[in-house]
């Protein structure tokens, strides 16, 4: 199997973290054909990475779908609870990352990439409004320190990296400052070696972009 990936991508980084955690024999490579080419779209119709190519040439796209597939096909993995409610809680973290927190960051991230003007204060407030939801969601889920790290944590961690790093460039030193539960969750996930390594890879790619 091989994973079409980029260290800059929070979505691809989630899958690389899972690969590292389970020591999976998956080759990680750059998108090929190149992204945004007709050849890429012809082969991978959704046009995005990550893509997991199976040994028989079949492809799976969408990071969460890839992660669930790998979890189901990896014997002995414990990144997804077997209890249905615990699993729903895990998925809520993943959905929160992709449908709430991530989109709140897009305008600021896009302005950074395109070097266009933005009302940074307004955007920071929009991101904080979504962080407030995540803070409450995590609180209601009980003590994360009492359970093991799961796919939801991994998905949220890579989105959280950009949620912290992007506003910093616009002068917001610690966007998590007012969110006690999210701050301790962030410190907790970073204690995991594979998560830390994935975040470090993204950070290096993000820093290289700014130079």
Q: Which positions touch ligand GSH (CB under 6 A)?
A: 9, 11, 35-36, 47-50, 62-64
At 151, is the secondary structure helix, strand, or coil?
helix
Q: DSSP H helical segments within the chain, as ranges?
A: 10-22, 38-43, 63-73, 84-96, 102-114, 120-140, 151-169, 180-190, 193-209
Contact, 14 vs 62, CB < 8 A? no
Q: Which is nearer to ligand GSH, 64 or 179 (CB)?
A: 64
Residue 28 structure tokens: 């990680």
CB of 209 to ligand GSH, least distance (A): 12
Tell me whether residue 130 or residue 181 sits nearer to ligand GSH (CB atom).
Answer: 130
CB of 38 to ligand GSH, least distance (A): 13
Helix (H, G, I), strand (E, B) or coil at 149: coil
3-state secondary structure 14-43: HHHHHHHHHCCCCEEECCCCCCCCHHHHHH
Smallest gap, in angstroms, from Cβ of residue 74 to ligand GSH?
Answer: 19
Nearer Cβ to ligand GSH (40/186): 40
CB of 33 to ligand GSH, least distance (A): 12
């Amino acid at each position: 199997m091989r994973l079409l990936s980029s260290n800059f991508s929070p979505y691809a980084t989630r899958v690389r973290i899972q690969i590292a955690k389970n020591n999976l024999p998956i080759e990680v490579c750059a998108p090929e054909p190149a992204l945004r080419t007709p050849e890429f779209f012809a082969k991978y119709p959704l046009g995005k990475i990550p893509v997991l190519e199976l040994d028989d040439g079949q492809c799976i796209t969408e990071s969460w779908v890839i992660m669930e597939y790998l979890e189901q096909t990896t014997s002995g993995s414990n990144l997804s609870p077997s209890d249905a409610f615990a699993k729903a809680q895990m998925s809520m973290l993943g959905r929160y990352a992709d449908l709430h927190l991530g989109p709140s960051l897009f305008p600021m991230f896009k302005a950074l990439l395109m070097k266009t003007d933005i009302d940074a204060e307004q955007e920071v407030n929009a991101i904080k409004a979504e962080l407030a939801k995540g803070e409450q969601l995590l609180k209601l889920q009980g003590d994360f320190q009492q359970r093991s790290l799961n796919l939801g944590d991994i998905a949220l961690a890579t989105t959280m990296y950009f949620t912290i790093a992007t506003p910093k460039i616009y002068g917001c030193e610690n966007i998590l400052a007012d969110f006690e539960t999210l701050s301790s969750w962030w410190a907790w996930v970073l204690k995991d070696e594979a998560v830390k390594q994935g975040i470090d890879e993204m950070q290096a790619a993000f820093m290289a972009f700014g130079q």
